[in-house]
Structure 1
Amino acid sequence: MIVRNLPEANQSDRRIVSPDGNWESTRLLLKEDQMGFSFHITTIYDGADFQMHYQNHLESVYCISGEGEVETLADGKKYPIKPGTVYILDKHDKHVLRAFKEMTMACVFNPPLNGKEVHNAEGAYELDAEAITP
């Protein structure tokens, strides 16, 4: 059994802050845990507005708190995000995420992340990113 505590993980190298200042993510479950997916609690900072395109991963995102929207760039549709909303990027959807009020999100990635991923120039995570050392 794996048991982790979010406040403790927030004080470790499992907490990653984006270089662009849009988000931070505490990676509670990673590839090394051999579960086939990774699980993160991510904060999207108030006022963040940025494009992502997970070309190598599928992601499911559940909003715990805050308010914002996600826009799919293929069709320009905008979807409101508030507590209780889930959005699933099941087609490697190129999208823009906007936070109107700081959002706390629970995120699941398949395949799982190694731990130190941040978005590349395309807004994706690389498959061969550096792992967090236990």
Structure 2
Amino acid sequence: MKVVKLADIIGTGNEVKGENWTSRRLLLKKDNMGYSLHDTLIHAGTETHIWYQNHLEAVYCIEGEGEVETLKDGKIHPINKDTVYALDEYDEHLLRAKTDMRMVCVFNPPITGKETHDENGVYPLVEDDESVEA
């Protein structure tokens, strides 16, 4: 059994910060669960272009308010507390935060912890299963 506390992740290499977000990576590929689990903060007033071409993602919003625009069809989906959205078709999208948002995210395949968004909003598929060290 694994027990991970968010407090033990904050301030380590498993807390990764982007311009618009902070991802606290709780379970990674090395944990052999078949998915990775993240506690992610999205900063108010930001828009983030994301296109996970190599990963499926499910997102559960537990705090805040924003929206997701799927670029393929231009649809805007309001997101707020207690809402789940699943990027089940490797959907290219814009995530807009009206307020600070806190999300619980699951990735399949799991990420290693080394990934960051590239210029197209993509996480590369990393085969190395070593996580980022603190």
TM-score by length of 1: 0.94
For residues 51-92 of structure 1, the C-alpha deviation after alignment (integer angstroms, 9 at most, x for no partner) is: 111000000000010100000001100010100000000000
> Aligned partners of 1:103, 1:8: CA distance in 2, in Å?
21
Map 1:1-134 to 2 at 5 A: 1-18=1-18, 21-128=19-126, 131-133=131-133
> Aligned partners of 1:11, 1:129: CA distance in 2, in Å?
25
- Is the Cα–Cα contact under 8 Å of residues 66 and 103 in structure 1 kept in the other structure? yes
Instruction: Give the partner amino acid of 2:17.
Output: V
- CA apart distance, 1:133: 3.3
- CA apart distance, 1:22: 0.5
Q: What 5-or-longer segments of structure 2 have no aligned partner?
A: none
- CA apart distance, 1:11: 2.5
TM-score by length of 2: 0.94
- Is the Cα–Cα contact under 8 Å of residues 63 and 105 in structure 1 kept in the other structure? yes
- CA apart distance, 1:122: 1.4
Q: Could you say what the CA RMSD is over the residues aligned between the two structures, in angstroms?
A: 1.3
Q: What 5-or-longer segments of structure 1 have no aligned partner?
A: none
- Is the Cα–Cα contact under 8 Å of residues 14 and 133 in structure 2 kept in the other structure? no
